[in-house]
Structure 1
Amino acid sequence: MSISALYTGTVVHTRMRPVRHRLRYRMMTLLLDLDEIPALARRLRLFSVDRFNLFGFAERDHLVPGAGSLRAQVEAALTAAGITPDGGPIRLLAMPRVLGSVFNPLSIFFCHARSGALCAVLYEVNNTFGQRHSYLIPVAGPGLPIRQECAKGFYVSPFMDMALRYRFRLIPPSERLGVAIEVRDATGPVLTAGLAARREPLTDGALLRGFLRHPLLAAQVLGAIHWEAAKLWGKGMRVRPRPPPPAEPVSIVLPGRVA
């Protein structure tokens, strides 16, 4: 049975300070077991790897293009965090390419041991300036929801300061999926964002239905980002200076260490 699946649900962003602002939109995303991707491309007529199709996947859309396979790069980050990879499943939650285009504000790699236990989560962030950075955080224990946090080290929204912290709350993919992110400063929450989604088997029929609901997925996401940015500008928000991205592509977040 394939672990890879399609998830459809709703994304909600709420900014609390210094102005109140909220947005909500429907979202389609895929959970791809890295080891299953070649077989998925052979089985599905509407999904391809590294070639044009209705839906597609390309490794260059994630982590550092040309620096090795996604599995090799994730396992190198695990090793840097003191976790010895044993060949366990690595599953990527991300939006697919749709008619050759994609933009993922956030992709999540769920890193499992061979036993099936979730040992770490890698959060990959893209901004609209063509930059990318990731945070790898070991999972502390088996309980749910998974709660993690780290310091912000990468410029994302032009209206957000850098001296912030992220708090993550995850329900890993099963029949349902939950991702909640709270962005905090020294006085409390500034913004919250969340995705709640339901699993569907990854079939050509499900992909076609997803396309009919979201025919221009990348344009929808980028359009929403820029439209909401224009509204924030109209509410008086102003752009913060953009620092250079971190020197390393992945911040390793360990207990007692600031990312």
Structure 2
Amino acid sequence: MTLRSCLYRGSVMHRRLRPTTHRFRYRAFWLLLDLDEMPLLASRLRLFSHNRFNLFALHDADHGDGSATPLRLQAEGCLMQAGIDIAGGPIRVFCMPRTLGYSFNPLSIYFCHRHDGQLAAIIYQVHNTFGERHAYVASVAADTGTIRHDCDKAFYVSPFLNMDMSYHFRLNQPDEHFALGISASAGGATVLGACLTATRHELSNQALLYNFVAIPLVTIKVILAIHWEALRLWLKGLRLRGRPQRSPHTITTVPPSPQHRIDSHAL
């Protein structure tokens, strides 16, 4: 049986435009995991486990609402709240794996398909460094070229950003290459942008070991980079915004965008 799950290796770039400029880039890798393949992956791969310790792992509690409820059930619950029914179609999550017992994902992306393989919806789950999570659930039009979603910010992430902002997501379905662009704007002006680009590789023990050596402790690297860049921003004169009271709502339904296709060069 050919696995639909795979590995992506690439880089992430962040660029802040105002009130001061700031830019950084780092290498990383991600797994695209078909949630129906989890038992098969755990049996085939010696270096990857599901809900068990290993060099790399996926723990359901690292995503979703933080409970042990299977991720597929949690994703279907999010879709149901948004009025989207995929009738048991495949769900694939794009995320960094737990590495030597440690996990942190700034963003996990769920690609939710109908039975015929057509992409029906995307769940963007954002994680902050305070242990909180929020899911933006967006439907996808039948014509799935490069996809665009726009929504108001509903979740506190960076202590250097206000809450009265809008997000603009643009991405393609993962194939040989995957690209994701996210920009945040306030008052019609772009404040910052982030871009992820990655290339597909087979998910195997050899590939996992190679990436562990080439990009060691990737999830620890990410959390350290977040705090290092925050210190650099503070030294540049940016000051912390007050953290708002936590909202009881952990899911935001993204309204349909006026267009889902955009110029791929914008990625």
Give the whole-Å Cα distance in 1 for the aligned partners of 2:156 and 2:40: 36
Partner of 1:218: 219
Q: Deviations over 1:16-74 (max 9, x none)?
A: 00000000000110000000011000000000112211111100001113373211121
Instruction: Summarize the alignment of residues 2-81 of structure 1 with structure 2, pairs less than 5 Å apart.
Output: 2-66=3-67, 68-81=69-82
Partner of 1:204: 205
Q: Deviations over 1:186-213 (max 9, x none)?
A: 1311000011000000000000000001
Give the number of aligned pairs.
256
Gaps (5+ residues) in structure 2? 258-267
Give the whole-Å Cα distance in 1 for the aligned partners of 2:111 and 2:29: 18
Report how far residue 14 of structure 1 moved.
0.4
User: Post-superposition, which runs of at least 4 consecutive aligned residues in structure 1 deviate over 4 A?
Assistant: none
1:2 maps to a residue whose letter is: L
1:241 maps to a residue whose letter is: G
Asked whether the equivalents of residues 133 and 246 of structure 1 are also in contact (C-alpha less than 8 Å), the reply is no
Query: Structure 1-normalised TM-score?
Result: 0.96
Asked whether the equivalents of residues 9 and 28 of structure 2 are also in contact (C-alpha less than 8 Å), the reply is yes
Partner of 1:177: 178
Partner of 1:134: 135
1:168 equivalent to 2:174? Answer no
Partner of 2:97: 96
Query: Structure 2-normalised TM-score?
Result: 0.93
Partner of 2:262: none
Q: Deviations over 1:159-187 (max 9, x none)?
A: 00100000000111111101100111113
Q: Deviations over 1:89-119 (max 9, x none)?
A: 1000000011111110001000111111111
1:153 maps to a residue whose letter is: A
Give the whole-Å Cα distance in 2 for the aligned partners of 1:34 and 1:21: 37
2:170 maps to a residue whose letter is: R
Q: Secondary structure at the match of 1:83?
A: coil
Q: Secondary structure at the match of 1:74?
A: helix
1:54 maps to a residue whose letter is: L
Q: Secondary structure at the match of 1:63?
A: coil
Report how far residue 218 of structure 1 moved.
1.6
1:34 maps to a residue whose letter is: L
Bigger drift between 202-211 and 71-80 goes to 71-80
RMSD, matched Cα: 1.2
Give the whole-Å Cα distance in 1 for the aligned partners of 2:53 and 2:130: 24
Identity %: 50
Q: Secondary structure at the match of 2:227?
A: helix
Gaps (5+ residues) in structure 1? none
Give the whole-Å Cα distance in 1 for the aligned partners of 2:210 and 2:67: 34
Asked whether the equivalents of residues 11 and 196 of structure 1 are also in contact (C-alpha less than 8 Å), the reply is yes
Q: Quickly say closer, same or farther: Cα 1:141–1:122, change in 2 above 3 A.
A: same
Report how far residue 140 of structure 1 moved.
2.6
1:147 equivalent to 2:153? Answer no
Partner of 1:156: 157
1:183 maps to a residue whose letter is: A
Q: Secondary structure at the match of 2:191?
A: strand
Asked whether the equivalents of residues 123 and 135 of structure 1 are also in contact (C-alpha less than 8 Å), the reply is yes
Give the whole-Å Cα distance in 1 for the aligned partners of 2:89 and 2:31: 19
